[in-house]
Amino acid sequence: MNHSVWISGLGVISSIGMNTNENIDSLRNEKSGVGYPEFLHTLHKKDFPVCEIKKSNDELAEIAGMRKELPRTTYLSSIAAQEAIKDAGIQLEGSSFRIGFISANTLGGMDTSEFFYEEFLKDNTQGHLRQVINHECGSITELVAKHLGIRHFVTTISTACSSSANSIIHGSRMIKHDMLDIVIAGGADALCRFTLNGFNTLMILDTEPCKPFDENRKGLNLGEGAGYVVLVSDKVKTALGLKTYAKVSGYANANDAFHQTASSPEGNGNYYAMSQALEMSGLNTNDIDYINAHGTGTSNNDSSEGIAIERLFGNTIPMVSSTKANTGHTLGACGGIEAVYCCMAMSQNIIYPSLRISTPIKELNFIPVASLIESHDVKHVMSNSFGFGGNCTSLIFSKA
């Protein structure tokens, strides 16, 4: 099958905005969401800055229109997915189209499980079991799908930091093979103690605001958020007369199987994902106008990704930046969030800057974009999401 896949709706929530417009305004104005946590319960409140959404769970529940006491990831997922559906102008209830919800996360209901165990470990007769019933990743997807009224096809992707990029691939393939007509694809993750402590154990957290692709980078800042796109087939696009932001023109997932938590020094998995996505798109290296890099701010990631970019693009390296200096690393949500950013880069003809770059990486021959570029015709963009275990994904979007 060779059906085209179009993006007709966008939705995002992050530490720099509660919706798409707020996020893009923040990127334009070089706003960062980095700060010390207010709602995350941790002993490290003053040790590691994070990119936290400054809303309580109860406030998020009200915005999402859902009951209280659910995992925080559920609310973030629902808020962004509902925005994407509303933006697309699609009525799900009573629709004759085959509709899927392919959602990603890495944490599930870990945050509420932590509250349970905090009480349970003090006294094994204490703790509310309702706090652990939605512990696993699939529960989040099912809760949100039920709230959205989607029942035809519902599944969860959990492949570390490439999760929501892979959900977009899976949704695109389902449409291409005429198995679904509409897919809401993306992902969400919230901050929790397990994640913060885990990344601290790996010694890759920065104690200051992160600076991806800077020679003196010291690590990443964790973030939270959600990002979704509404994928539609040619049939749906034509039948409903939908506006479209972009075409999903290429994608690939690769794995270099180098290390549990590190990329290979040569960036092999990164290279394979980017090169295969480019091959699928039918584009040349000089057709790509912008790369939204994975760009976490860790020594290993930025070096290996940069080397892979140089290996693939040679002397035709497009403009590159990382928006994780704004949002932090949102783990399973980053591919969905950055897919929204890429679509808006094409829609508004802008290139986002990488914040806080003062000294370019010595071993690389390119310098990321350091200030906002406007009125630039952005036709094709590449979005990279590289996860633990070497799970590497690249997406290519082309202006509609």
Residue 1: predicted pLDDT: 57
Residue 257: predicted pLDDT: 82
- In this structure, which amino acid lies at residue 302? D
Which long-range CB contacts under 8 A does 130-133 form with residues at least 24 apart? Answer: 130/69, 131/69, 133/109
357 contacts: CB under 8 Å, gap ≥ 6: 211, 212, 213, 214, 367, 368, 370
* DSSP character at residue 373: B
Active site residue 294: yes
pLDDT (tens digit, 9 = 90+) per residue, 21-35?
A: 999 999 999 999 999
317 strand-pairing partners: none
Q: What is the separation of C-alpha 372 from the centre of its chain, rounded to a whole number of angstroms?
A: 21
pLDDT (tens digit, 9 = 90+) per residue, 298-355?
A: 999 999 999 999 999 999 999 999 999 999 999 999 999 999 999 999 999 999 999 9
Q: Are residues 261 and 223 in contact, defined by beta-carbon separation less than 8 angstroms?
A: no
Q: Supply the mean pLDDT for the chain.
A: 96
- Kindly name the residue from 192, 294, 343, 380 that is annotated as catalytic: 294
Report the greatest alpha carbon distance in the chain. Answer: 65
Q: And the tokens for 226?
A: 């959600």
pLDDT (tens digit, 9 = 90+) per residue, 201-260?
A: 999 999 999 999 999 999 999 999 999 999 999 999 999 999 999 999 999 999 888 777
Rounded (to 5) percent helix, strand, coil in the chain: 35, 20, 40
- Kindly name the residue from 137, 329, 334, 342 that is annotated as catalytic: 329
CA dist 26 and 21 (Å) reads: 9
Q: Are residues 89 and 132 in contact, defined by beta-carbon separation less than 8 angstroms?
A: no
Q: Are residues 340 and 333 in contact, defined by beta-carbon separation less than 8 angstroms?
A: no
Give the class (CATH, top level) of 7-240.
alpha beta
- Kindly name the residue from 161, 334, 343, 392 that is annotated as catalytic: 161
pLDDT (tens digit, 9 = 90+) per residue, 371-397?
A: 999 999 999 999 999 998 889 999 999
CA dist 56 and 163 (Å) reads: 25
49 contacts: CB under 8 Å, gap ≥ 6: 34, 35, 36, 206, 207, 208, 209, 221
Segments making up each domain of the chain, as ranges: 7-240, 247-399
Indicate if 247-399 has the same CATH topology as 7-240.
Answer: yes
CA dist 168 and 182 (Å) reads: 12
pTM of the full predicted structure?
A: 0.97
Percent of the chain with pLDDT over 70: 99
Q: Are residues 367 and 212 in contact, defined by beta-carbon separation less than 8 angstroms?
A: no
* Averaged pLDDT, 96-103: 97
Give the class (CATH, top level) of 247-399.
alpha beta
pLDDT (tens digit, 9 = 90+) per residue, 134-148?
A: 999 999 999 999 999
Question: Which residue in 308, 305, 335 sits closest to 323, CA to CA?
Answer: 335
Strand pairing report for 319-321 and 290-292: parallel
